[in-house]
Chain A
Amino acid sequence: MSKGETRRVETEDGQLMLAVQAGDVAQLSVLFERHHRRLFRFFVRLSGDRQTAEDLVQEVFFRMLKYRLTYTSGGQFIAWMYRIARNVHLDGLARQREEAGAGPEDALESAPSAGPGPEERLRSAQQVQLLRRALHSLPVEKREVLVLSRYQNLKYDEIASVLNCEVGAVKVRVYRALKELGQAFFLLAGEKAS
């Protein structure tokens, strides 16, 4: 998609959300159609679980409805949506911790879903599995920024808006997350080999 097309879509999304805000809640259906897949992929990468991801996507759109008055016409819709998504994910983690008792938050998340899938058709299926595990082993803040940068097609200034930090901080965080992912991957690969 060209820059011009991206800007046009972003403007349309904003206008749709303003319509929802004004009471035409049926327009949320259009936003759902446009964005639920990318949100689903975002949550699958973060949580490693399809069912959890589906639940979280629903929660995001529910909160868009509930907090529609907080959307401002000057703001970027995508960044606003991902801010909600991020909070939904963090709230989900907090609920998991409360239900399971205190403990390291990332240890309580479900392991990546196993089972048959397209990866079995790849020659590097084991590598894919190791990479998934390595990604899932990262602290949630690092996993978040890596997923936003690598998979969600967000620009650095959009990621900065989502994470409420400076663009410079995003650049550093992405680099450090990638570095740590590499270390985790090779550690797991070494364990597998031995």
Chain B
Amino acid sequence: MRCERARERMAESLAGALQTPAAGELDAHLAACEACAAEWVALRDLWDSLGRLPEEYPGPAMRERFDAMLAAYQAGIAQASLIRRPGLLEQLSAAWLRCWPRRPAWQFAAAMAVLAVGIGVGRFSAPDSATPPRRAGANTELARLRNEVHEMRQLVALSLLQQQSASQRLEGVNWSVRVEPNDTEVLSALLRTVNTDGNVNVRLAAVDALRYFGDSPVARRGLAQALSRQQSPLVQIALIDTISELRDRQALPEIRAILNHCSTDENVRQRAQAALVRISSSEPRPQDSRR
């Protein structure tokens, strides 16, 4: 047994996890190698000292806190399961979900119909002396209608992203790309979904949706930061691919970090390597070159 191998097995032996014949090989090596034997003694003493650190015990308040948390959760579940009259906003969003067509072509037609109605209302409504000229009034009405459509889509997306059901959260991710690309609330909700959602499919969909917000520095930074938080290789690959497509040079440190981390999955490592090459060889965006 070589010294390097012996040293790697020392901690295993101290933990009582080294099986024969490896344990026998280590003993034989220690008997023959003074340097390793000295290191063994030092590590063993340290291991024993760690065992003499006083044990810590939690106070009784911890149990009370947990019980209170569980009771509150159970009360909340019980309340949510009661049949109750939904609030006005919930009614509106539910009605909107029912009315809004599913097919993109019909959605476009519906949106154009809403705009047409809005323009018609603006054109034929009688202005009073305080209102601005008719052309400006029509534009204002149009802007207001557009804003209402946007707000409704935002409401739907945000509501769905908070649902317990993973399929509803997936629906929320689908809705998130129908808002304005500068919508910071939906962007924040998507980033939160990438970092905290318990369902890997929802996280993958959220990463995909973040491409839509790719021009936002917040989105780009959020994607890079999410890389170090993810445990799932699938999501890591999706993040790397998205960052690579966006040619985000400011994410290079995070990509290098995951490439150099010893526990990174091999497939992720290869993807990260390819992304490094692609991003490094691309033209810097104007905001990248300001750093």
Residue positions of A touching B, CB distance < 8 A: 25-26, 28-29, 32, 36-37, 40-41, 44, 50, 53-54, 57-58, 61-62, 65-67, 69-70, 83, 87, 90, 117-119, 122, 124, 127-128, 131-132, 135, 146, 149-151, 155-156, 163-166, 169, 171-175, 178-179, 181-182, 185
Contact = CB atoms under 8 A, between A and B. Distances in A.
Interface in B230-264: 231, 262-263
Contact of A54 (B50, B59, B69): B59
Given A36-B66, A150-B51, A164 B263 contact: yes
A175 B8 contact: yes
Contacts of A29: 66-67, 70
Contacts of B69: 58, 61-62
Binding site secondary structure of chain B:
helix
Interface string B1-41: 00000011111101101000000000000000000000000
B65 interface: yes
Q: How large is the interface on B (under 10, 10 to 19, 20 to 34, 35 or more residues)?
A: 35 or more
B263 A174 contact: no
Nearest to A127: B49
Given A149-B15, A155-B17, A174-B15, 15 more contacts: A25-B77, A26-B70, A36-B62, A41-B56, A53-B58, A58-B65, A61-B66, A83-B231, A128-B54, A156-B17, A174-B12, A175-B7, A175-B11, A178-B11, A179-B43
Nearest to B61: A54
Given A25-B70, A58-B65, A181-B46, A163 B54 contact: no
B195 to A, nearest CB: 9
B50 A131 contact: yes
A146 B47 CA distance: 10
B85 interface: no
B11 A171 contact: yes
Contacts of A128: 52-54
B46 A182 contact: yes
